[in-house]
Every structure is written in C-alpha cells, then in structure tokens.
Structure 1
Amino acid sequence: KVAVKNLSFGIPTGECFGFLGNNGAGKTTTLSILSGEFPPSSGTGYIAGYDIQGDQSLIRRKIGYCPQFDALLELLTVREHLCLYARIKGITEESLPNVVHSIMEKMDLLDFSNKAAGSLSGGNKRKLSVAIAMIGGPSIVFLDEPSTGMDPVARRFMWDVIALMTKEGNCSVILTTHNMEEAEALCGRIGIMVAGRL
C-alpha cells in the first residue's frame, strides 16, 4: 500500500499550512519523510533550499518536530529536556540558560521547570513537546496534532503560541490536525489528504 502518492506543495516563510485528513490518510508519513525519518521511495523535497535526500545533517538544524505522541524521557525534568535539545541544536553553553528560560516562559512551563516529564499532565507534556520543536529557532516546525488531549484553555494557549511563531515571520509551520476549528484559527492554507493524495 502506498502511504503518500504524487504529493507536491510549497510553503512560504511565515505561513502555517494545515494538513487535514482521516487517520491513515498520509499526514504523519509526509512529516516523517520531510523530517528524514523515512526516505521517499521516489521524488524528493526541499527545506530551506536543502534536498531531503542528501542534506539531512543541514536540514535537521533547520527544522523542529513535535510528533503525534509525546517522545519524552520520563525521568528528565522540563529544564533538562530543553537543555538537552538546545545542545543538540547547537546552542552555546553561554546562551543556553537564556534560551531555555525564554522558551519555558513562552510555553508557560516555568512553574514546572524542575518537574520530571513523567509527572506532568497530558497538556503540559504537549507544551513541552512543542517547546522542544521550537528550540533553536528553526526555519520550519512540523506539528503533528499538537493540541491532542488538551483542555479548551490549554488548546487556546497553544493556538496563540503557534500563531505568534508565524506572525514573527521567520518560521513556517506545517500542522496536522483533525480539528477544523484549529485549522481555521491557525492556517493560511489547508490541504486535505485522502488515501495518500493531497
């Protein structure tokens, strides 16, 4: 079975582009291909001018990725997660404390900075996953159903954060969602995926 077929689209800087579709439509697979997790069986893609087939080490510095399910280390604290990923992204030790504090403040996680990820609520785990995706100032952020499991207040907060990312103009967002209200609130354009086709 082909998961994604003949997909072609472009996203300008500063846009939030939404992928909508049922489970199994190919949304997550598309993000996995663009982020380098899976190679495409044919064709290629470009992120910030770099080919996803050959420039993965350069592309990984340009992207942030929040997976559909939280991929957190239960025993690490919020601060430790962000420090770890900031170092991976090449943030210098000198600027590390300010970068981490700033992202925790932006994501309303300061009160939980020393709590282990395993003890966080579902909503705060999603906030941490999005914070990890945002760290290092990526050119493009992939958000795979970022507000799943959030209560209405936390979901609205998340929408405001995502809207601010694109409004600042130096970051594009590809968002997958089942929620039409979320797509309408955040996305300049949407693409509906059905059986691997856009």
Structure 2
Amino acid sequence: MNGHPVIETRQLVRRFGTFTAVDALTLSVEPGEIFGLLGRNGAGKSTVIKMLTTLLPPTSGSATVGGYDIVREPASVRRCIGYVPQALSADGDLTGYENLLVFAKLYDIARGERAERIRDSLAIMGLSDFADKLVKTYSGGMIRRLEIAQSTLHRPRVLFLDEPTVGLDPVARVSVWEQVRRLQSQSGSAILLTTHYLEEAEELCRRVAILCRGRVAAMGTPAELKAAVGAGATFEDVFERFTGADTMLPGAYDETSQTRRAAHRLG
C-alpha cells in the first residue's frame, strides 16, 4: 500500500463521565485497504466509528480522515466519507432507485450525472433488476447492499461500515461480502468495518485491530495474529486470547441468570 494513510488516529480517547470507552487509540488505514475493528460488546468499536465520522467529539487525542482533522475540519471529513450505520437508513416506501436519488441530491451530485451514478451503483451491488421495486419488498441482504450503494454514490475515499451484516442469514452475509469486495476493487475506497463475525473479518480484512476495554490488544493481518498465538491457532483462538474468553461484560450475570431461570421454568 502506497501513499499517506487515509485514516490516522493518535492517542484518541473518548470518555463518558468516568467511563473510558476508547483509550489512547493509535492506528492507521492505508488507501484501498479493508481494515477491521473487532472486540466484544462494549469494547469501543462503534464509539471509534462515531468519532471518525464526526458524530461524536473525542475527549482528547487527534485523528485525520482523508487528510482532514475530525475536530477542526468536520465538514471536509464528511464530504470524503460514506457511512453505513447499524440502524436502518433506507426508506421502505420508496423504490431502490428513488432511495438512491434522494442520496444523490443530498450529496449534491450534478443533475446530469445522477442517473448514470445510480445505475452504476445498483449494478455494482447486484440490484439492477430490483431498482423499481419498493424497498419494503427487499430481503435483509438486499437492503444492506442498497444502503452501501447509498453511501458510496459520491465515490468517497473512505467507507465506514458498522456491523454491515448483523442480523443477516449466512447466505445473505456472503452476498454482502462479495459486493463489498467488488465495490472496493472497482472504487479503490478504503473501508473500515466493525463486526462480530470473525469469519467476516478473516475473509474481508487485510488487517484488523482487536479492541479490549477500549484499548488495542492486538493489530496485524489475520495470518500474523494466528501465528503469534501459536501453530494451528484459529482466528477464534486469536480473539479469545486478546479479548479474554471470560471477560466480564456489564449485565452478563443478570442476562445469564434470567436465561437459566426461564429454561428451568420451561423444563
């Protein structure tokens, strides 16, 4: 990978009261790279994304995206990124084409270019045959692919995907993976994604950072991390080594207790 990093963080911190959600995060993402953030619930993944997309100010430290400072130049950052949040962002009462047209206007894409951009985006994401169908008739995987198309109409330098395949069945997940690879190869955008699916990270990402309690516990290629754990290690072994198989998460005891009580009542 050549050129300056498209994402660079230096000792980035975010606190909520006395709780430190992200603690001295330092990493860089190269142009055209697919980079993964992994970690258990509460590790700080989504907080990192929100800071880098200018939705949440850092407590301290600094970061640049596309060469722009996230605090001093937020408007410039927003112009050069695409962001697909966990929450649903497509309108079910519009067609796929209409959803993309709304985003084309929001991104201020020239009127004469909109139709071609939309057709190209639908084709890249495998949705050309469904352009005129209402989105509420789409499957979960199709909706996710449409949301990725929405966020890349303006050809961003960096695309942020926050849990892009959460809730999808295995076949739909693989379909989204294929389209993400296709998008990256055609556009050259760098992609930073968060995921709970380890096979997704191993399959898609050139490098990953594993977060534990807001700090980077390990960073490297999946192959490098497996080698560091030991001969024959799986990526699941890597995840458990660096996050702690028995990490105590807020609410875990209560949730387990309720589940077991319910199982006992039902026999």
TM-score interval, normalised by the smaller of the two chains: over 0.9
Q: 4+ residue stretches of structure 1 with deviation over 4 A?
A: none
Taking the aligned partners of 2:130 and 2:183, their CA distance within structure 1 comes to 22
Superposition CA RMSD, Å? 1.5
Q: RCO (CA 8 Å, sep 6+): is it higher in 1 or 2?
A: 1
- TM-score normalised by L of structure 1: 0.93
Quote how far apart the aligned CAs of 1:140 are.
Answer: 0.4
Quote how far apart the aligned CAs of 1:169 are.
Answer: 6.5
Who is 2:26 aligned against? 8
1:45 aligns with 2:63: yes
Q: What residue ranges of structure 1 are gaps of 5+ in the alignment?
A: none
1:11-160 mapped onto 2 (5 Å cutoff): 11-160=29-178
Q: Which structure has the larger Rg? A: 2
Taking the aligned partners of 1:101 and 1:152, their CA distance within structure 2 comes to 27
Q: Which amino acid aligns with 2:179?
A: V
- TM-score normalised by L of structure 2: 0.70
Quote how far apart the aligned CAs of 1:70 are.
Answer: 1.6
Quote how far apart the aligned CAs of 1:144 are.
Answer: 0.9
- Relative to structure 1, the CA distance from residue 74 to residue 168 in structure 2 (aligned partners, 3 Å threshold; closer, same or farther) is closer
Quote how far apart the aligned CAs of 1:134 are.
Answer: 1.7
Q: Secondary structure at the match of 2:202?
A: helix
Who is 2:232 aligned against? none
Is 1:66–1:143's contact at 8 Å kept on the other side of the alignment?
yes
Is 2:141–2:176's contact at 8 Å kept on the other side of the alignment?
no
Taking the aligned partners of 1:164 and 1:108, their CA distance within structure 2 comes to 10
- Relative to structure 1, the CA distance from residue 15 to residue 77 in structure 2 (aligned partners, 3 Å threshold; closer, same or farther) is same
Task: String of CA shifts for 1:66-108, please: whole Å, max 9, x gaps.
Answer: 1112222332221111111122223111010010011111112
Q: What residue ranges of structure 2 are gaps of 5+ in the alignment?
A: 1-18, 217-267
**Equivalent residues, number:** 198
- Which of 164, 179, 182 pairs up with 2:200? 182
